[in-house]
Chain A
Amino acid sequence: MVDSKQQWKAWLYLAPAIVLLLVFTVWPIINTVRMAFLENYSGLKAAGGATFQFGLGNFEKVIGYRRFVSCLKNTVLLCLLTVPISTILALLIAVALNSIKVCQKALQTIFFLPYVTNSIAIGMVFAAMFNIVGSFYGTQNEIIVTAGIINNVIQFFGGEPINWINYGSTYEANMLVMTVYIVWNALPFKILVLLGGLQSINKQYYDAAKVDGTSRRRIFTRITVPLLSPMIAYVVITGFIGGFKEYTSIVGIFGEKMGPPDDAGRLNTMVGFIYDALSTNSQGRASAAALILFGIILVVTMINMQVSKKRVHY
């Protein structure tokens, strides 16, 4: 223990960080909880001297919104689609990267590049790829000129172009684009973590497996995956947490309208819903939605931890 006379020094050194954390992290959290339970709380009215009663009105209102249900559905659906797909893909790519010898470092760098690229920029590129017309938003009467690479490829193989994200596109097509984009965006970090895990596995396990004549498939399922399970669990848990906070990727593809031009807000997510509430000065409702999101992430993470307790070895 530090000498009690010396303790004030320790507090002094910690003070800058503590002050910043108190002001910008701890107080906002407390304030969010407070605002969520104040009926019809609005920052503007509060500044005007209005007082609010405690109650569950914000939660009732939030849950009652049709938009909230669709936001929740979009968020959960995107999570359930992208986390498993990206994890499995990342695992396969990491194993492949780990087993090649030529150009390993160069390929690692290439696979990591999306991670250091701005996700809005990536979104715009993806939007351009999936576009069917020259312009971004498009209207009902616009002449269809296939400009998107994806549709060009489909046509090259004799298929019909699909309206992915433009005026009149279907919800399924929109979700498919979002899934492809989010998976692609999530891959680099997962590959990096899993590759690091792979490289720390003792090579002797593989020698031992070789001596015993283990097939490649069995080596993968019985040795590599179990030994990598702590990293896989980490990637899945952080993947779900990130997935529930999905927002920028939608903006990246669809812009601030959060949906195709004829159905704005169709792809809005939980975080998007919170932003919308804030922009209409309904801090109470925004706080309530934030608390609901927090609760969902907490429950999902706890389930994840329980599963990994059984599945993650040593």
Chain B
Amino acid sequence: MKIVLENLTKIFPSRDKKAGKEVVAVNNFNFTIPDGKLIGLLGPSGCGKSTTLYMISGLQKPTGGKIFFGEDDVTELSTENRGIGLVFQNYALYPHLTVKQNILFPLQNLKGADKMSKEAMLERAYEAARLVQIEELMDRKPSELSGGQQQRVAIARALVKMPRVLLLDEPLSNLDARLRLQTREEIRRIQKETGITTVFVTHDQEEAMSISDMIVVMKLGVVQQIGQPQDVYDSPANLFVAKFLGTPPINVFSGRVKGEKLFIGEEAVLDVKGVKDQDVTVGVRPEGFVPDENGPLHTIPSNVEVMGRDVSVVSTHEASLNPQVRSIINSDHKVDVSAGVVRWTLKPHKVFLFNKDTEERILPEEA
């Protein structure tokens, strides 16, 4: 089931009628979610990603625009008739019901022709439980489960009625780091096994990048970029996207282009063919630095963090817009901090130029 969002807009009226301004939570969102894919809605808090999810679910009504599931216009359809499964951020498992009763709950609501026999319901419930591997927990109460187990129960409850679309609201935010890693792979596995079109919301870029087929980066209700995670990472559309994706975050310098050369400070660090002379903001991924005794860029190192496989060199540069410049290099390279200066060459495909005012990406014009 593909999902089409057409000019989707949500405006929250102001609380204070006199002074307050209305809030545009989602602004003119256009996107087609392909059938059977896992999509991550990504952005900082308040960017409208959850609102978008809740509009797809039907719990919130859009101010403008349309939502299609396949060919059906579901914009005016109420939540229960959309055939969605929704997993809430804190799971919203009914605390007084056992795991089994929780999973059975949506099935027991079915009426008329859809009504199922007790045996059929149990069978479906166990099937869903098997999928998320919680069969042995069926008689426990939610309070007797760990966060990860509760999460699985919530997913099972959402899947048991075989929804057309599965929606997950910050599914991993309540889990500890190790469990998060495990659960996100679990979600990926379940999604692949069921083939249900899945949309999930997260503010954690690593989470989104690692399991999504496509990510949608949002900021203040406006979609910034849509694409496959690697493509978005390798070719950010603007400075916001570049800054938001990647850990450690991208290094940002103020620089200028003169005679098809990029200057950071006084040093010409890179050839940039087809870019007009102008002041620019330069983004350099931490892995874009190569230590080179004759390299054009020099920074003043403050310390070196050894992480086993990699070495992270923390240094400063006067043109840097961040307090520190962080470069990640292979631990085979030796960096001598006591020398007081490190010289680098830059990998051209890890360096992005942005317009100083609009922060949009500057791409070289084809000659």
A208 to B88, CA, bound (A): 8
* Residue contact B88 to A214, C-beta cutoff 8 Å: no
**B313 on interface, CB distance cutoff 8 Å:** no
**B248 on interface, CB distance cutoff 8 Å:** no
**B305 on interface, CB distance cutoff 8 Å:** no
**B245 on interface, CB distance cutoff 8 Å:** no
CB of B59 to closest CB in A, whole Å: 6
Which of A213, A226, A227 contacts B109, CB < 8 Å? A213
Among B61-69, B76-84, B273-281, B295-303, which stretch is in contact with chain A?
A: B76-84
CB of B170 to closest CB in A, whole Å: 12
Among B14-22, B91-99, B180-188, which stretch is in contact with chain A?
A: B91-99
CB of B139 to closest CB in A, whole Å: 15
A218 to B90, CA, bound (A): 22
* Residue contact B96 to A215, C-beta cutoff 8 Å: no
Tell me the count of chain A residues lying within 8 A, CB to CB, of chain B.
Answer: 19
Asked, given contacts A212-B80, A213-B106, whether A204 binds B141 with beta carbons under 8 Å apart, the answer is no
CB of B100 to closest CB in A, whole Å: 14
* Residue contact B109 to A205, C-beta cutoff 8 Å: no
* Residue contact B90 to A204, C-beta cutoff 8 Å: yes
- Give chain A residues whose Cβ lies under 8 Å from the Cβ of B90: 202, 204
**A207 on interface, CB distance cutoff 8 Å:** yes
With both beta carbons as reference points, the residue of chain B lying nearest to A225 in the complex is identified as B96
* Residue contact B106 to A212, C-beta cutoff 8 Å: yes
A165 to B188, CA, bound (A): 74
* Residue contact A218 to B109, C-beta cutoff 8 Å: yes
Chain B interface residue number, banded: 20 to 34
* Residue contact B109 to A208, C-beta cutoff 8 Å: no
Query: Quick one: CB contact mask for B101-112 with A, threshold 8 Å, 1 for yes?
Result: 000011011110
* Residue contact A207 to B59, C-beta cutoff 8 Å: yes
* Residue contact B80 to A210, C-beta cutoff 8 Å: yes
CB of A149 to closest CB in B, whole Å: 43
* Residue contact B92 to A202, C-beta cutoff 8 Å: yes
CB of B328 to closest CB in A, whole Å: 40
- Give chain A residues whose Cβ lies under 8 Å from the Cβ of B161: 212
* Residue contact B80 to A314, C-beta cutoff 8 Å: no
For the residues of A in contact with B, the DSSP-based class is helix
Query: Quick one: CB contact mask for A211-222 with B, threshold 8 Å, 1 for yes?
Result: 111110010001
Which of A211, A222, A229 contacts B86, CB < 8 Å? A211
CB of B85 to closest CB in A, whole Å: 8
Which of B57, B79, B94, B157 contacts A223, CB < 8 Å? B94
With both beta carbons as reference points, the residue of chain B lying nearest to A314 in the complex is identified as B95
CB of B86 to closest CB in A, whole Å: 5
Asked, given contacts A211-B57, A213-B80, A314-B143, whether A204 binds B88 with beta carbons under 8 Å apart, the answer is yes
**A313 on interface, CB distance cutoff 8 Å:** yes
* Residue contact B105 to A212, C-beta cutoff 8 Å: yes
A313 to B96, CA, bound (A): 5
- Give chain A residues whose Cβ lies under 8 Å from the Cβ of B108: 218
CB of B215 to closest CB in A, whole Å: 25
With both beta carbons as reference points, the residue of chain B lying nearest to A211 in the complex is identified as B86
CB of B163 to closest CB in A, whole Å: 9
A222 to B96, CA, bound (A): 9
- Give chain A residues whose Cβ lies under 8 Å from the Cβ of B141: 314
- Give chain A residues whose Cβ lies under 8 Å from the Cβ of B110: 213
* Residue contact B88 to A226, C-beta cutoff 8 Å: no
Q: Which residues from 157 to 202 on chain B have a C-beta closer than 8 Å to any C-beta of chain A?
A: 157, 161
* Residue contact B106 to A205, C-beta cutoff 8 Å: no
* Residue contact B143 to A215, C-beta cutoff 8 Å: no
* Residue contact A204 to B95, C-beta cutoff 8 Å: no
Asked, given contacts A204-B92, A226-B96, A227-B95, whether A211 binds B109 with beta carbons under 8 Å apart, the answer is no
A202 to B96, CA, bound (A): 13
CB of A107 to closest CB in B, whole Å: 22
Asked, given contacts A204-B88, A218-B109, A314-B141, whether A211 binds B59 with beta carbons under 8 Å apart, the answer is yes
Q: Which residues from 200 to 254 on chain A have a C-beta closer than 8 Å to any C-beta of chain B?
A: 202, 204-205, 207-208, 210-215, 218, 222-223, 226-227, 229
* Residue contact A215 to B109, C-beta cutoff 8 Å: yes
With both beta carbons as reference points, the residue of chain A lying nearest to B87 in the complex is identified as A208
* Residue contact A210 to B79, C-beta cutoff 8 Å: yes
Which of A204, A214, A215 has the largest count of B CB atoms less than 10 A from its CB?
Answer: A204
- Give chain A residues whose Cβ lies under 8 Å from the Cβ of B143: 314
- Give chain A residues whose Cβ lies under 8 Å from the Cβ of B95: 227, 313-314
With both beta carbons as reference points, the residue of chain A lying nearest to B141 in the complex is identified as A314
Query: Quick one: CB contact mask for A114-125 with B, threshold 8 Å, 1 for yes?
Result: 000000000000
A229 to B96, CA, bound (A): 10
CB of A101 to closest CB in B, whole Å: 14
CB of B235 to closest CB in A, whole Å: 37
- Give chain B residues whose Cβ lies under 8 Å from the Cβ of A227: 94-96
- Give chain B residues whose Cβ lies under 8 Å from the Cβ of A223: 94
CB of A215 to closest CB in B, whole Å: 7
- Give chain A residues whose Cβ lies under 8 Å from the Cβ of B88: 204, 207-208
5 contacts between A and B (CB under 8 A): A207-B59, A215-B109, A226-B94, A226-B97, A314-B143
Q: Other CB < 8 Å A-B pairs besides A211-B59, A211-B86, A212-B106, 9 of them?
A: A204-B90, A205-B94, A208-B92, A208-B94, A210-B59, A211-B79, A211-B85, A227-B96, A314-B96
